[in-house]
Amino acid sequence: MPSPSNSRAKGRLGLLARALAHSLGPRRAPGAPATILVAHRLLLGDTLMLAPLFAALRRQHPAADIVTTCAPALVPLFAGRPYGVRALAFDPRQPETLADLYAEARRLGGFDLALVPGDNRHALLARALGSRWIAALAADRPAWKNALCDELRPWPAAPTALADIFASLAAPAAPGRYAPADWPAPPAAPFQRPAGPYAVLHVGAGSPLRHWAPAHWQALAEHLEACGLQPVWSCGPGETAALAGIDAAGRHPAFPGTLDLAQLWQLLAGARLLVCPDTGVAHLGKVVGVPTVCLFGPGSPALFGAGAFWSEAPFAAVGEARFPCRDQHILFKRVLPWVERCQRSPRECQRARCMEAVGLPAVQAAIARLLGPLSS
């Protein structure tokens, strides 16, 4: 069996050969594209933040066949065809996903327009799939990635939510505002749902520097329980240690990495409230439409909060608007002076003071703003 590195190298060589074959001849921007590709392999949160881009594309091109690539684990979230978008799995370590993409591109005769949010290296995939015009965001590094594109769109000069930046790839079309009906819920395998009114407390995050103090989680759970909401713990498959440090005795129902994304969607859809760190689940909460309190530490509320598209969503960002060590200005390898975030690893930062600054009273106040006063 070939090693993952060999499979990836073989896939890249195949991409390059196909991209070169499709690079011959003149290219020009399509006036009314019949087929549109959104080429990426973003993580959960960034993928969900493509919703305004999909909305703007559908408004501008109501009859177009819009296809997006995404990580295989995220494909089920598109089962309801939000904005009429079809999702196809893409993982360069899985040759079968490339084979399926090539087959679909042949069936469609390529794509009239391709948009590349995030890493411009995926313009190579777009060209290999027969895209006749590729637009992406400017200033990626190294510069060879930009040379793969036909058109480079500028980044905003002032603080803007990432979701709204993605939508700018479809300019001049505007995405409007989000409504939960725009993204139908995916079907999910049965699981034991909580009985009665409940709140989901998702404690996991991709970095321990985004973890909230166990004592705060415990106090919040007690507060919600006193107010008539059953606390329900949640975390991802690799995050069970964080949950074990919060409720080792198992006082409250828990889903310790046992739900897939479709099941997690259904869990959130039945909840009165979601509280979680700034991670992909917070964006899932916005898409589902559950009242969401998001705890911001290293991340930027301006960049990863509601923005214009989700401005009417029941979403509250809690955390310091600005924090001294949130002083890195990089987003998708672009240097943007207005970006204020921290991407340091635990080796570089032994104590997440930014998360320590997120106090329980501020979280309780945000919950009251979203749900109204809870009796206790």
- Tens of each residue's pLDDT in the chain, 376 residues: 556 566 666 667 777 767 776 766 667 788 899 999 999 999 999 999 999 999 999 999 999 999 999 999 999 999 999 999 999 999 988 999 999 999 999 999 999 999 999 999 999 999 999 999 999 999 999 999 999 999 999 999 999 999 999 999 998 889 999 999 999 999 999 999 999 999 999 999 989 999 999 999 999 999 999 999 999 999 999 899 999 999 989 999 999 999 999 999 999 999 999 999 999 999 999 999 999 999 999 999 999 999 999 999 999 999 998 899 999 999 999 999 999 999 999 999 999 999 999 999 999 999 999 999 876 5
Residues 309/161, Cβ–Cβ less than 8 Å: yes
Longest dimension (CA), the chain: 70
CA separation for the pair 151, 138 (Å, rounded): 8
CA separation for the pair 54, 61 (Å, rounded): 10
Strands 151-153 and 85-89, by their bridges, are unpaired
**Rounded CA Rg of the chain:** 21
Rounded (10°) angle between helices 4-21 and 95-108: 20
The total of other beta-carbon atoms located within 10 Å of residue 114's CB is 28
DSSP state of 120: G
Residues 6+ apart with CB under 8 A from 184: 79, 80, 81, 82
Catalogue all structural domains in the chain, each as residue range(s) with its CATH number.
4-176 (3.40.50.2000), 198-371 (3.40.50.2000)
How far is C-alpha 165 from the chain's CA centre?
13
Helices (H) and strands (E) in the chain, counts: 14, 14
Residues 293/220, Cβ–Cβ less than 8 Å: no
Rounded (10°) angle between helices 261-269 and 280-288: 50
CA separation for the pair 116, 56 (Å, rounded): 15
Strands 330-331 and 315-318, by their bridges, are unpaired
What local confidence, expressed as pLDDT, does residue 11 receive? 67
CA separation for the pair 19, 86 (Å, rounded): 22
Among 205, 208, 239, CA closest to 346: 208
CA separation for the pair 318, 266 (Å, rounded): 25
Model pTM score: 0.94
Token pair belonging to 284: 């899932």
